[in-house]
Amino acid sequence: MIVRVPILTYHSIDGSGSVISTSPEQFRQQMLQLQESSCHVVSLQAIVKALRENRELPENPVAITFDDGFETVYSHAFPILQAYHFPATIFLVTSCCGQASVWNSRTPRIGSAPLATWQQVGEMSRGAIDIGSHTATHPDLTRIPPDVAEEEIRTSRQIIEDRLGREVSAFAYPFGRSNSSVRVLVAREYDCACSTRLGVVGASSALDQLQRIEMHYFSSRKRFTALLRGRASSYLAVRRFLRLVRSVADPILSSA
């Protein structure tokens, strides 16, 4: 039975210091900590199967995800993941591969940044990295007409499957935003969906709203160690409260 599974969320692996960035050295050190710890890095699919079938996971499981598909994931994170044989899931914005992340134009320090090309995505896919969907153009799905949202959700999966020849089973909500209508649309196309709700996955977690841990909040070695040891619940509670307060002022930046 699943008791506690942190799903780590990364975006860009760069040294800008933005709220969606983890420096290459920080990422390297965190992956080394995982390798040297008692944790076992598992795939998102393994978590879904355990939740559905009430199955056991390896002791101290952890999963790794990346939103948006930045080029820096290919250049900095992918070689390290390969070296440690860690599985991971990258959520792609399919119509923007090889272009820039225009939805980050308001994010201080990073702004629009290059995204991985399809050639790079293909190489990562062949290297045991799972590719999930983050829609076609990264809209807030709760603010567009239902038929447009359905197109964003469905066609992104079809494009990835056509490009890579692999089934796509996982989705991540752009900006972490969803409502009941959006979740119904997603459930038609995918086995699971990741949110930006801060927390760890447990036996009661909903497959269409899997909690994750934004790694910007765990850039220090001390906090990351506490997370791996299951001692970060109080800190996560504080971050959830601060995020709630911030969302009142700017709902997009608070969940980017």
List the chain domain ranges: 7-255
The whole-number pLDDT of residue 33 equals: 96
The whole-number pLDDT of residue 8 equals: 98
At 120, list the tokens: 């790079």
The whole-number pLDDT of residue 253 equals: 46
Reported pTM = 0.94
User: In three state form, how does the secondary structure of 107-174 look?
Assistant: CCCCCCCEECCHHHHHHHHHCCEEEEECCCCCCCHHHCCHHHHHHHHHHHHHHHHHHHCCCCCEEECH
Query: Domain 7-255, CATH 3.40.50.2300 — does that match?
Result: no
The whole-number pLDDT of residue 248 equals: 61
Region of 196 (left: φ > 0; alpha: ψ -120 to 50; beta: rest) is alpha
pLDDT < 50 regions, the chain: 251-256
